[in-house]
Amino acid sequence: MKMIKVPVAIIRGGTSKGIYIMKRDLPDDEELMKRVILGIFGSPDIRQIDGLGGADILTSKVAIVEPSESAGIDVNYKFGQVGIKDAVVDFSLSCGNLLSGVGVFAILRGLKVAEEPFTTVNVFDVNIRKQVRIKLPVEDGMPCVNGDFYIDGVPFPGARIDVTFLNPGGSITGKLLPTGRSRDLLRNGIECSIVDAGVLAMFIKASDIGLTGKEGPKDIDNDQRLLSLVNDLRAECLVKIGLAPDRETALKRFPYLPKFIVVAPPSDFVSPINGRVVKEKDFNVLARVITGNRLHKAFPVTSSIALAAAASLRDSVVEEVAALYEPGKVLIGHPSGVIDVSYKASEWGGVEEVTIGRTARVLMDGVAYVPESRVYGR
């Protein structure tokens, strides 16, 4: 059996884990590229047993990186959400957690010369067509691994990496508010804020759909009635903003967009992931993300950007429920704990930049093997 060899690195970036690949090591044809990626991950298969995938939405991710030819940009980054039970590689959204690993990968592959004590890697995010600045500590020519910075959702501390998104508004639709309003009315009288910053997201009060905002995966993942409602509302949102003509097209074309986020006022809760008690005083807003018919076990970085933007908008659903204690900062209570988001509000509404602290480290650097027959059918 002939095998295709692909140099890869497996890197944990934030609360996600991905396979990082140089673009030059993949086929130029996008369909063939997707087949190679699916082969590397072992998809479609609910266990991804014949590949490197981790059989979880947070670990079935690919980062494609190349040197940039644009002034002021070091590398281009393209993210793909790799299907687990479906033969799909979705390039319609980005992953901010994996971005924290892009700086590490750029130094590892010699795309950026490391400078001590900190190196700044300027990244162009191909998916959302936005610039991101990554500042990471360096020692002995390589990214630092050891540190005392904890992020909820990762059991061990590491060296802090600052990921800053510049002018993140309009990443998908070209508008911070795709409908021109900070609040819209959906079916059954449900109020919603549709915000496009970092990712296209829709925010709904948890109480409007019978939730508390404290739910865990066991409460969401097998509730078919709720998931059907979520998909109906996602499709309605996509049709409302003109990205799809009908429900069927919307859900087929955008399996992960918009991010469906329920929010609630801060209140003590027990993490359904690690059992830790999180106190009301330690965060500003309760939030849960439902994506791919599953509850996200932490909180996506790009969704954090959208929430920060929504919190800064008068009359948004997020502004209504959030208890903001400090200007330019929002702390989000999520299933694994709290994520701290700093932002600079713009004069015209929304945010000029958003910074989130992450950690990242290389787990493996080597070669993946894919049977040629899975790519070329022979």
Which pLDDT belongs to residue 350? 80
Q: What does residue 227 show for φ and ψ, rounded to 5 degrees?
A: -65, -35
Q: Is the pTM value of this prediction over 0.85?
A: yes
Using CA atoms of 285, 299, 164, 317 in order, give the dihedral in degrees to the nearest 10: -40
Closest by CA to 260, choosing from 340, 183, 205, 217, is 205
- Neighbour count for residue 285 (Cβ, 10 Å): 24
Question: What are 196-219's pLDDT values in tens digits?
Answer: 999 999 999 999 999 999 999 999
Q: Average pLDDT for residues 231-240, to the nearest whole number?
A: 98
Q: Please state which CATH number belongs to domain 184-357.
A: 3.10.310.10
Question: What are 347-357's pLDDT values in tens digits?
Answer: 777 899 999 99
On the question of a common fold for 3-160+360-376 and 184-357, the answer reads yes
- Average pLDDT taken over every residue of the chain: 96
Question: What are 248-306's pLDDT values in tens digits?
Answer: 999 999 999 999 999 999 999 999 999 999 999 999 999 999 998 999 999 999 999 99
One DSSP character per residue, 269-338 reads EE-TTT--EE-GGG-SEEEEEEETTEE-SS--HHHHHHHHHHHTSTT-HHHHH----STTEEEEEETTEE
In the chain, the N- to C-terminal Cα span, in Å, equals 10
HSE (CB half, 13 Å, CA atoms) of 323?
11
Task: Report yes or no: 68 and 77 within 8 Å, Cβ to Cβ.
Answer: no
Which pLDDT belongs to residue 244? 97
Listed in sequence order, the DSSP H helices in 16-80 are 30-41
Query: What is d(CA 152, CA 277) in angstroms, rounded to the nearest whole number?
Result: 12
Q: What angle do CA 50, 51, 57 make, to 5 degrees?
A: 115
Confidence of residue 325 (pLDDT cuts 50, 70, 90): confident
Q: Average pLDDT for residues 18-31, to the nearest whole number?
A: 98
In CATH, which superfamily holds the domain spanning 3-160+360-376?
Diaminopimelate Epimerase; Chain A, domain 1 (3.10.310.10)
221, amino acid identity: D
Query: What is d(CA 204, CA 229) in angstroms, rounded to the nearest whole number?
Result: 12
Q: Average pLDDT for residues 130-151, to the nearest whole number?
A: 97
Closest by CA to 300, choosing from 97, 101, 77, is 97
Query: What is d(CA 22, CA 64) in angstroms, rounded to the nearest whole number?
Result: 6
Which residue in this structure is represented by tokens 């497996």?
10
5, amino acid identity: K
18 three-state secondary structure: strand
Q: Is the peptide bond before 168 cis (omega within 30 degrees of 0)?
A: no
Confidence of residue 378 (pLDDT cuts 50, 70, 90): low
Task: Report yes or no: 205 and 191 within 8 Å, Cβ to Cβ.
Answer: yes
